[in-house]
A and B are shown apart, each in its own frame.
Chain A
Amino acid sequence: MLVAWKYKERNTIIQRLDPRARWIFLLSLTFSIVQFWDIRFLLFFFVISFGHYFLCRLTWKETRRIWTFVLTLVVVIIGINAVLTGRGGPGEVLKGPKHILWQVEWVVPWVGWTISPNITVEKIVFAITQMVRMLSITVLFIPLAYTFNPNQYGVTFRGLGLPDKVAVSMDLAFRFVPTLARDFSITLDSQRARGYEVERLEGGLIAQIRKMAPLVVPVTINAIVGGEDIVNAMDLRCFGLRKRTWIHKLEYRPRDYVLIGLSVLILAGSTFANLGLGLGNFWMPGWALRLFGF
């Protein structure tokens, strides 16, 4: 089995930024977006998210799979859920005035309860708001796997304040991946040679899971045995006694400071607008009512 990182060098403005600055930007924007239910504010973030996405210069071929997943999630689960229930968001959608477009009354047999599901203009606007909100967050993070160098995870998170040991652990994990993938491949081939057919596991769910053991156990135990040697080697080199230095050295450049400043400004501004000025609650535009004839 070949494992290949989705990452590749693209010489884009995004990839020229310091990865720490990028993380600060992504997290600041995420925490800003979750504070709003007003589509006017959300559209601002939506534009930034898609601007960031397009600057990453990802191709449709690369991202087709994740887009299928994201759009299904956003439209089917979030959109339809919001249109049908209107729940999950701010209370105004259900408690405020309702402009009903469609309603049906259904009496539950035997118990006589009356259920009247409806679709209102407010719910439709809410569903659109929800989809814009969710897409703004999701689109921000889609490019990460494609544009973030796996070799820089450790040094990046160390630079963001994580302890040395945790950062080394992250760095090591990315380095172990190709070796473990090769081990998995060898184990799979060995088991197949013994007649193990992973594609034709029979029985119920529990039986199928149990039959995965001949694949999972050897790979895991083999990795642990190898890990003991690595622990010994690192201990012999006095790992952890002093502060570490890193092969990849990150240095902020002026453009990174600009991005960090902008990120902090957006987060501070959003928090002030939301908590200080009380802005950002669900907004029902008048034109939406007129559009449906109210």
Chain B
Amino acid sequence: MDKKWYAFGTREVVFAALGAALYGVLSFATNMLALPAAGNIALRPAVCIPMFFGVAFGPWVGFISGFLGNIIGDALSGWGFWIWWDVGNGLMGMIPGFAIPLLAGYRDAKSLVIADIFVIVGVVVGMGFSSLTEIFTSGIDFATAFGGYFIPAALTDVINGIILVPILMVAYDAIAVRTGR
């Protein structure tokens, strides 16, 4: 694709805002619906939004969608403000955005696999950052940060991301073709 991944023009301003609002609303909505989940693992399908917006509109859009979307979701639910988790969510959206130069389109198998690989890297970096920051802020040890925070968060986010991001990419392909952007 000939998109410039670092661009931040009008299009990026609008889609970063849309991504953040969507992530916030869907996080809030899925919390309200109390979706069934396995054991103590919460089902958080909304995490696919910043990842997909990163893949579709670039890393800055992905970052703002994740960072601001998490703030909005927490503000709606009354969860307070956890800046290191907001930054972690931002990174989770940003890193898939670096896949753009490698994508040939939004529906061929190779592009979908590449996007999924970047999604996994994004989750590891984003949730890794937030979990490790807990060591300095909460004073927990590495084992607790890894087992108590990173694994539960990263596992569900990876599963959500690798399933829903390709579905959204295929659905978005029709719009991308129609708008020619």
Contact = CB atoms under 8 A, between A and B. Distances in A.
Contacts of A1: 29, 32
Interface string B83-114: 10000000000000000000000000000000
A206 B67 CA distance: 26
A123 B50 CA distance: 41
A66 B13 contact: no
B167 A221 contact: no
Interface in A117-132: 130
A78 B140 contact: yes
Interface residues of B, number: 70
Q: DSSP class of A's interface residues: helix, strand, loop or mixed?
A: helix
A144 B74 CA distance: 10
Interface in A165-186: 165-166, 168-177, 180-181, 184
Interface in A67-89: 69-70, 73, 77-78, 81-82, 85, 87-89
A145 B75 contact: yes
Interface string A224-265: 110110110011000110000000000000000000000000
B117 interface: no
A13 interface: no
A146 interface: yes
B40 interface: no
A291 to B, nearest CB: 23
Contact residue range for chain A?
35 or more
A293 B16 CA distance: 60
A209 B45 contact: yes
Contact of A81 (B52, B64, B140): B140
A218 B108 CA distance: 21
B78 A146 contact: yes
Interface string A179-212: 0110010001000000000111100111011101
Contacts of B168: 216-217, 220-221
B141 A87 contact: yes
B113 to A, nearest CB: 17
B137 A137 contact: yes
A267 interface: no
Contacts of A217: 167-168, 171
Interface string B1-41: 00000001111111111101110111011001111111001
Residue from A150, A171, A212, A225 having most chain B Cβ neighbours under 10 A: A212
A205 B38 contact: yes
A141 interface: yes
Nearest to A67: B80
A184 B33 contact: no
Given A145-B74, A201-B36, A227-B14, A77 B140 contact: yes
A169 B22 contact: no
A138 interface: yes
B55 interface: no
Contacts of B148: 77
A119 B31 CA distance: 38
Contacts of A199: 33-36
Interface of B: 8-18, 20-22, 24-26, 28-29, 32-38, 41, 43, 45-46, 48-49, 52, 56, 64, 68-69, 72, 74-76, 78-83, 135-144, 148, 156, 159-160, 163-164, 167-168, 171-172, 175, 179, 181
25 contacts: A77-B148, A87-B143, A88-B138, A88-B140, A146-B78, A168-B13, A169-B14, A170-B64, A173-B18, A173-B68, A177-B25, A180-B18, A180-B21, A213-B164, A216-B49, A217-B167, A217-B168, A220-B171, A221-B172, A221-B175, A223-B18, A227-B15, A230-B14, A234-B13, A240-B13
